Structure 1
Amino acid sequence: MTETQVPQASTEDIGSVQRPENPWKRAAITSLGPIVAAVVLSGLILLAFGVDPIAYYGFVIEKGLLSSLGLQQTLTRMAPLLFLAAGLIVAFRAGIWNLGVDGQFLLGAVGAAALAPVLVETMPGWLVLLLGFLLAGLIGAAWSVIPALLRAYQGVNEIITTLMMSFLGVSIANALVKLVFWDPNTTVPQTRTLPVADRLPRLFDTTISSGVLWALLAILAVHFVMTRTAFGLRLRTVGANPRAATHAGLSVPLLTVAVFAISAGFAGLAGATEILGVNGNIRTDWNPAYGLTIIPLVFLARFNGPVSIILIFFYSVILIGSESAARRVGVPQDFRLILVGMLMIFLGLAEWLDTRSRKRAG
Structure 2
Amino acid sequence: MDIVVRSVLPVVFALIVGGIILLALGKNPLKYYGDIVVNGVLGGNLQNSLVMMTPLLLMAIALIVVFRGQLWNLGYDGQYLLGAVFVGGLAPQLIPKIGLGPSYIALIVLSIAVAAAWTLVPAWLKARFGTNEIITTLVMSSIGVGGTGLLIEYLFQDPAQRTPQTRTMNTADMLPYIPGTKVHVGFIVAIVAAVVFQFILSRTSFGLRLDIFGVNPKAARHVGINSRTMTIVLFLISGGLIGLAAALDVMGQWGYVRNNWNPAYGDTIMPFVFLARLSPVGSIPFVLFYSIFATGGTVASIDSGLSTDFNMVIVALILVFMTITEYVGSKRELGQSYLPDELRDAVRRPFAALTGRSAQA
Q: TM-score normalised to the size of structure 2? A: 0.91
Matching residue of 1:120? 95
Matching residue of 2:329? 354
Matches of 1:347 and 1:179, distance apart in 2: 44
Is this contact kept in 2: 1:80–1:215, CA < 8 A? Answer: yes
Matches within 5 A, 1:200-239: 200-239=175-214
Identify the match of residue 184 of structure 1 among 148, 159, 164. 159
Matching residue of 1:37? 13
Matches within 5 A, 1:192-203: 192-203=167-178
Q: For 1:295-316, what per-residue CA distance to the aligned partner results, in whole angstroms no more than 9, with x for missing partners?
A: 1111000011222011111110
Matching residue of 2:345? none
Identify the match of residue 343 of structure 1 among 299, 313, 318. 318
Which runs of 5 or more residues in structure 2 are unaligned? 338-361
TM-superposed CA distance for 1:354, in Å, is 1.3
What amino acid does structure 2 have at the position aligned with 1:99?
Answer: L
Q: For 1:123-176, what per-residue CA distance to the aligned partner results, in whole angstroms no more than 9, with x for missing partners?
A: 110111111110110011000011101111111111111122112211211221
Helix, strand or coil: the match of 1:296? helix
Matching residue of 1:129? 104
Is this contact kept in 2: 1:129–1:199, CA < 8 A? Answer: no
Matches of 1:356 and 1:175, distance apart in 2: 50
Indicate whether 1:285 and 2:260 are aligned: yes
TM-superposed CA distance for 1:61, in Å, is 0.7
Matches of 1:154 and 1:353, distance apart in 2: 36
Matches of 2:304 and 2:94, distance apart in 1: 45
Is this contact kept in 2: 1:103–1:169, CA < 8 A? Answer: yes
Is this contact kept in 2: 1:95–1:236, CA < 8 A? Answer: no
Identity %: 40
TM-superposed CA distance for 1:206, in Å, is 2.3
Q: Say what the alpha-carbon RMSD is for the aligned residues.
A: 1.2
Is this contact kept in 2: 1:143–1:264, CA < 8 A? Answer: yes
Matches of 1:241 and 1:324, distance apart in 2: 46
Matching residue of 2:294? 319
**Runs of 4+ that moved beyond 2 A:** 359-362
What amino acid does structure 2 have at the position aligned with 1:100?
Answer: G
Is this contact kept in 2: 1:85–1:219, CA < 8 A? Answer: no
Indicate whether 1:50 and 2:26 are aligned: yes
Matching residue of 1:269? 244
Q: TM-score normalised to the size of structure 1? A: 0.91
Which runs of 5 or more residues in structure 1 are unaligned? 1-24
Matches of 1:238 and 1:30, distance apart in 2: 24
TM-superposed CA distance for 1:361, in Å, is 4.7
Structure 1 stretch 52-61 or stretch 205-214: which is displaced more?
A: 205-214
Indicate whether 1:26 and 2:31 are aligned: no
Matching residue of 1:296? 271
The alignment covers a number of residue pairs equal to 337
